Amino acid sequence: MKRGGVGYVQPTPRSFPVMSEMNKFILECGAIPTLAWLDGTSEGEQAIEELLAVAMESGVAAVNIIPDRNYTPGVKDQKLQNLFDFVALAEKYQLPVIVGTEMNAPGNKFVDAFETDELRPLVPIFLKGAYIAYAHTILQRYCGMGYLSDWAKRHFALKSEKNQFYEQVGKLTRPEKQALLRGLSQTFTPATILQNLSEWFGN
């Protein structure tokens, strides 16, 4: 159903739900409302600070990037600069950056080439986002203590503290033993949870 394909219908503003309503739906599912960023060249993304402010006001708490379409190996161009600028902005607002590939068209990569000169400087930020997303997923699934849960609201006044906690959970947890998180209680403090994970997973 790509543009130009059989059955494609050009969308209009009425084709999409209002952002605030969509984010409310996402929150009620226990998920994280996330702003998807393309490449910074559209009219809306050229005013990215304004767009991000509106998105955050409506509940957005993370951003998503598909790095492969934002650089050309060996080329330092505006597209690459836009990528770095957007990641820096996400860091400024302490929004987890979630990255990955888009496998809905022929030729797209199965895994991003994070070892390239262009992406390598951003890998620590991308890894942090991955750890946070993983921690949110398993804590929400097993004990209702995801990134935007009531439990998280009670325990974290600062985004920086919350991000650090969920990053640590993501690093400590072994996927093959993640079901052990069922043993956690919403009465536990963040410190108690990290202590339990260290004991369970031997870190």
Instruction: Give kind and range of the element (H or E) at residue 99.
Output: strand 97-99
Q: Give mean pLDDT, residues 160-179.
A: 97
Is a pLDDT exceeding 70 seen at residue 18?
yes
The ranges assigned to domains in the chain are 13-201
The pLDDT value given to residue 203: 67
Is a pLDDT exceeding 70 seen at residue 142?
yes
Return the closest-CA partner of residue 178 out of 140, 127, 148. 140
The pLDDT value given to residue 1: 59
Q: Give mean pLDDT, residues 82-91.
A: 96
| Orientation angle between helical segments 123-143 and 159-172, nearest 10 degrees | 80
Sign of the CA dihedral running 143, 171, 67, 1:
negative
Pairing of strands 97-99, 34-37: unpaired
